[in-house]
Amino acid sequence: MLQDKDILELFKKSEALLSGHFELTSGLHSNQYFQCALVLQYPNYCELLAKGLKEKFADFPKPDKVIGPALGGVTLAYELARSVKEVIELIKREGAEVIAVGSVVNRSSQSVDFGVPFRSLIKMEVQTYQPSNCPLCEQGIPVYKPGSKALKK
């Protein structure tokens, strides 16, 4: 079973735990960001994380399909809360049943309700700020919006 320290080590080795000034999918700002794509570029790390996530759902029946949001989730079913909700709605519209949601990192400070069981490999509390009350914005540090959401526009 993967331990939190093992997962953090994979993120550190792949320089995927970024520090800076980020606009998250939620619209909040943060000084940290988990760039899962940097970990998943290494097939052996991806395999380890996927096996760890699979173990988290060992008590579930074997699913017919495992679906992940683009782009990172195409490699491994992970994403941020809003993207997961969009994917759940998409799956339901197609007439399929969602039995559970899994992610590599859960950086939510509050519990997330997807309407189905949600499990992650590691839970990390990341400091977030409303943009109107962000000390990094006050310092004039340019904000970077990671992820694939910008590709839609």
Please report how close the Cβ of residue 122 comes to Zn ion at its closest, in angstroms: 25
- Pick 44 or 139: Cβ nearer Zn ion: 139
Q: Are the C-beta atoms of residues 77 and 102 closer than 8 Å to each other?
A: yes
Q: How far is the CB of 29 from Zn ion (least distance, A)?
A: 3
Phi, psi of 22 (to 5 degrees): -125, 140
Residues found near Zn ion in the complex (CB under 5 A)? 29, 134, 136-137
Nearest-angstrom CA–CA distance, 54 and 141: 39
Using the minimum distance from each CB to Zn ion, give the nearer residue, 29 or 107: 29
Distances (CA, A) of 62 to 25, 78, 100, 103, 139: 30, 18, 11, 17, 50
Measured from the CB of residue 27, what is the shortest distance to Zn ion in angstroms?
11
Q: Which residue is nearest to Zn ion (CB)?
A: 134
